[in-house]
């Protein structure tokens, strides 16, 4: 057995024996100042670095020579890439398309590099290939691309270039499936896909036309299809920032559904109408029309007595929230109890009604009953609500003068949840300092390819390689060992996804050991430069990026927000003009430096509008300034935590908590000494 283990250890070491030079050696190699005979790995590094530089400068002859020499070393971990770049640069020198040689590389190319093979093949085919060759190359590259606009353009190019053949049929099928709006004769079943595709392309008027075709159909024939189209149609107005149009279409849909319910009291139709009425009520509530909102919900309960239990409980809960805001606490508590008495199956409704009943008891200073209720229910409602109720139990104890008990409750919460919002805020509330964190990942190399790609600055290739590795569904042990590889390759989004796919991701001790993967520092220079330009807290910017996009520069939301800081094009255009930032269209928001610069400019605006209130800035970044100003006028604001809990939009309420969590942890990771949090600075 010992012999076997020794053999495995030796084999493992041998497998990763061809590692790149250390960074300090690499710098000397690039300057030509090493001053001694080169080791084999240093020869490889020099040849690749020289070839890469020549390739970037368009010096095809030098690139051909450098990569040609390098590809002769079969032990070089990136030999297949070297061979690919040799073929590319030599083809530019010889003005010929190396079809056979590129074809031979397909079987030898590691899966993580197939995208680069397709990229190079496409570039050469575009210059030297016949239309059919170009079409084939475009089709292959389209399958590898992730950005929608690029993928679509390549499919369209392949379709146009290919002569009548099986290849053209394949390209047409791929294009119409990926971008159905190009299909000149879609079937009736494909109408929703065509409409949605026009939406994604931001051709909203065409999308409306296609949805209208569906809305002319008899809704009773296929109600699911009809209601999805109706809801998407309404959302177009919202995405166009046409609030009046959105409300008008919402009301029109409500009228149609009311008529349908009278014709056929189908459960799906009833719940759809209830959902629309709830949305209508929420919209009125946001505009501070509480009475009108409550009347809409009362009408829903009266007009639709057979709506599902979950929908009825949800309606009662929202009515309770409106009553709570109107300071009619007895009615609010009654409505929350009615919602719970229905025994809904929806866990979220149960949690929300339970929390708000407890919250109303707290606001009414019924602290003894509040604590009793918390102790009775909190362990049955999941860990997240348990933490929330524990935090407020400490607040109740503090207000009752039970200071030692409050401090004990808070510190116990912090001990078990040191990286969650309520644990962190419990520690701050008890006057504790936040210690600097020096968490580090296991830096043991896991892949020669990853180590070489990172050393040579081939970031996109490294990300592609790691994404391919992650797609193979590695074990928990492999995920943990490879986290540092994601960080080394500046693949923050991949690191976060890999961490959360681990079965122990919620364990505080495991989290503490892997914080650099969970809270990446990607694009740090760009972020700090932008923050410095607009005098914005860089840790706040990192925290917002972490929440908005998980540091994925290619992120795009359903609400048409783009890039690291999830900016909408209309806002970006205005900010770019105002601050002289180069910007042409929404694709520019995929560029990190452009995105964070405009994001910092927007945060500076919000800072002024919110009178430097950090919680207000964060909330406004998510929900806009209008609702936030309204909430400051109508909700408790003496206690910042009471204000946060009173934010009407659940998404915004959770967003504020998560960004504040991120903000503290980023400071712990990046500051060299302990710091305290003055809670008054948040508000």
The secondary structure of 283-343 as a DSSP string is HHHHTT-HHHHHHHHHHHHHH-TTS-HHHHHHHHHHHHHHHHHTT-HHHHHHHHHHHHHT-
pLDDT at 637: 64
What pLDDT, on the 0 to 100 scale, is given for residue 51? Answer: 95
Instruction: Check: CB of residue 527 under 8 Å from CB of residue 594.
Output: no
Report how far residue 191's alpha carbon sits from residue 322's, in angstroms, rounded to the nearest whole number.
40
pLDDT category, 380, cuts 50, 70, 90?
A: confident
> Does 323 have pLDDT greater than 60?
yes
Which pLDDT score, from 0 to 100, does residue 80 have? Answer: 94
Q: What is the model's pLDDT at position 146? A: 82
Of the listed ranges 132-146, 387-401, 407-421, 637-651, the one predicted with least confidence: 637-651
Model confidence at 8, in pLDDT bands (50, 70, 90)? very low
pLDDT digits (tens, 9 = 90+) for 186-219: 999 999 999 999 999 999 999 999 999 999 999 9
CA distances from 578 to 511, 571, 572, 573 (A): 42, 11, 10, 9
Categorise residue 603: left if φ over 0, alpha if ψ from -120 to 50, beta otherwise: alpha
- State the pLDDT at residue 649: 86
> What torsion, rounded to 10 degrees, do the Cα atoms 19, 23, 29, 35 define?
-100
- Other beta carbons less than 10 A from residue 527's beta carbon: 27
pLDDT beyond 60 at 467 = yes
Q: What is the pLDDT of residues 65-100, one digit of tens each?
A: 999 999 999 999 999 999 999 999 999 988 888 989
Tokens of 386: 């348990």
CA distance 233 to 221: 19
Q: What is the mean pLDDT of residues 579-601?
A: 95
pLDDT score of 16: 65
What would the mean pLDDT of 592-597 be, rounded to a whole number? 96
Percent of the chain whose predicted confidence (pLDDT) is above 70: 97
CA distance 168 to 238: 38
Residue with tokens 């391919």: 468
Q: Is 411 exposed, middle or buried (0-12, 13-18, 19+ CB in 10 A)?
A: middle
Mean pLDDT of 622-638: 82
5 pLDDT band, cuts 50/70/90, is: very low
pLDDT of residue 636: 58
| pLDDT grade for 631, boundaries at 50, 70 and 90 | confident
Average pLDDT, the chain: 91
The DSSP bridge partners found for residue 562 are 556, 567
Q: Confidence band (pLDDT; 50, 70, 90) for 4?
A: very low
Assign 174 a pLDDT band (cuts: 50, 70, 90). very high
One DSSP character per residue, 490-553 reads T-HHHHHHHHHTSTTTT-HHHHHHTHHHHS--TTHHHHHHHHHHHT--HHHHHHHHHHHTTT-T
pLDDT, residue 42, reads 93
Mean pLDDT of the 550-562 span? 87
Residue 12 pLDDT more than 50? no
Instruction: Give the C-alpha separation, 443 to 305, whole Å.
Output: 61
Q: Is the pLDDT of residue 627 over 60?
A: yes
Q: Per DSSP, what are the bridge partners of residue 434?
A: 675
- Of 377, 371, 424, nearest to 393 (Cα)? 371
Q: Give the mean pLDDT of 546-565.
A: 90
pLDDT at position 675 is 93
3-state secondary structure of 96: coil
Residues 6+ apart with CB under 8 A from 546: 519, 520, 662, 666
* pLDDT tens per residue across span 657-676: 999 999 999 999 999 899 99
Domain 524-682 in CATH 3.30.70.20:
no
What is the pLDDT at residue 630?
A: 84
Do the Cβ atoms of 659 and 592 come closer than 8 Å? no
Position 381 confidence tier, pLDDT thresholds 50, 70, 90: confident
User: Among 268-272, 282-286, 290-294, which is the least confidently predicted range?
Assistant: 282-286
Q: Supply the pLDDT for residue 377.
A: 85
Please state the three-class secondary structure of 227-259 as a single string: HHHHHHHHHHHHHCCCHHHHHHHHHHHHHHHHH
Better pLDDT: 146 or 336: 336
**Mean pLDDT to the nearest integer, 633-640:** 76
**Mean pLDDT along residues 456-463:** 93
Q: Look at the block and give the residue holding tokens 């005979």.
A: 37
Q: How far apart are CA 70 and CA 72, in angstroms?
A: 5
């Amino acid at each position: 057995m010992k012999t076997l283990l020794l053999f495995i250890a030796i084999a493992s070491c041998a497998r990763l024996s061809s590692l790149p030079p250390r960074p300090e050696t690499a710098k000397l190699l690039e300057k030509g100042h090493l001053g001694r005979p080169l080791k084999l790995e240093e020869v490889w590094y020099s040849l690749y670095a020289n070839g890469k530089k020549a390739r970037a400068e368009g010096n095809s002859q030098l690139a051909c020579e450098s990569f040609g020499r390098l590809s002769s070393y079969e032990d070089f971990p990136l030999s297949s890439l070297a061979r690919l770049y040799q073929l590319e640069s030599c083809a530019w020198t010889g003005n010929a398309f190396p079809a056979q040689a590129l074809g031979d590389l397909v079987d030898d190319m590691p899966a993580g590099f197939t995208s680069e093979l397709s990229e190079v093949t496409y570039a050469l085919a575009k210059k030297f290939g016949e239309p059919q060759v170009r079409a084939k190359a475009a089709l292959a590259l389209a399958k590898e691309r992730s950005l929608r606009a690029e993928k679509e353009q390549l499919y369209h190019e392949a379709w146009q270039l290919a002569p009548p053949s099986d290849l053209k049929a394949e390209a047409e099928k791929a294009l119409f499936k990926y971008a159905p709006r190009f299909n000149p004769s879609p079937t009736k079943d494909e109408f929703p896909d065509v409409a949605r595709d026009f939406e994604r392309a931001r051709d909203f008027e065409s999308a409306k036309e296609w949805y209208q075709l569906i809305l002319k159909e008899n809704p009773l024939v296929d109600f699911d299809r009809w209601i999805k189209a109706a809801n998407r149609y309404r959302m177009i107005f919202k995405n166009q920032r046409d609030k009046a149009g959105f409300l008008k279409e919402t009301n029109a849909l409500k009228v149609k559904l009311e008529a349908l319910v009278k014709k056929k009291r189908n459960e799906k139709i009833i719940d759809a109408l209830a959902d629309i009425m709830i949305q209508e009520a929420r919209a009125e509530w946001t505009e501070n029309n509480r009475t009108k909102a409550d009347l809409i919900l009362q009408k829903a309960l009266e007009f639709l007595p057979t709506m599902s239990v979950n929908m009825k409980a949800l309606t009662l809960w929202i009515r309770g929230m409106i009553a709570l805001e109107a300071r009619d606490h007895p009615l609010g508590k009654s409505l929350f109890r009615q919602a719970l008495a229905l025994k809904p199956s929806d866990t979220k409704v149960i949690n929300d009604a339970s929390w708000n009943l407890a919250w109303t008891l707290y606001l009414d200073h019924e602290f003894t009953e509040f604590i009793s209720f918390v102790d009775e229910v909190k362990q049955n409602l999941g860990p997240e609500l348990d933490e929330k109720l524990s935090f407020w139990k400490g607040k109740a104890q503090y207000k009752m003068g039970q200071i030692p008990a409050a401090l004990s409750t808070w510190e116990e919460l912090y001990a078990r949840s040191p990286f969650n919002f309520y644990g962190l805020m419990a520690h701050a509330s008890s006057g504790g300092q936040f210690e600097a964190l020096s968490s580090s990942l296991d830096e043991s190399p896991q892949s020669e390819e990853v180590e070489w790609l990172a050393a040579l600055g081939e970031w996109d290739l490294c990300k592609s390689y790691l994404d391919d590795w992650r797609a193979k569904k590695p074990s928990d042990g492999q995920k943990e060992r490879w986290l540092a590889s994601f960080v080394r390759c500046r693949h923050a989004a991949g690191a976060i996804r890999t961490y959360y796919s681990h079965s122990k991701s919620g364990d505080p001790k495991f989290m503490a050991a892997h914080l650099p993967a969970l809270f990446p520092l990607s694009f740090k220079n760009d972020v700090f430069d932008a923050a410095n330009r607009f005098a914005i807290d860089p840790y706040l910017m990192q925290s917002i990026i972490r929440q908005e996009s998980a540091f994925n520069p290619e992120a795009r939301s359903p609400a048409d927000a783009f890039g690291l800081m999830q900016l909408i094009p209309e806002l970006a255009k205005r900010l770019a003009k105002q601050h002289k930032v180069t910007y042409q269209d929404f694709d520019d928001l995929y560029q990190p430096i452009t995105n964070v610069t405009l994001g910092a400019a927007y945060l500076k605006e919000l800072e002024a509008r919110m009178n430097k209130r950090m919680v207000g800035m964060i909330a406004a970044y998510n929900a806009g300034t209008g609702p936030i100003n309204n909430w400051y006028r109508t909700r408790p604001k003496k206690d910042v935590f009471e204000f946060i809990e009173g934010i009407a939009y659940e998404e915004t309420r959770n967003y504020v908590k998560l960004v504040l969590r991120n903000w503290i942890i980023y400071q712990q990771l990046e500051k060299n000494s302990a710091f305290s949090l003055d809670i008054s600075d948040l508000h």
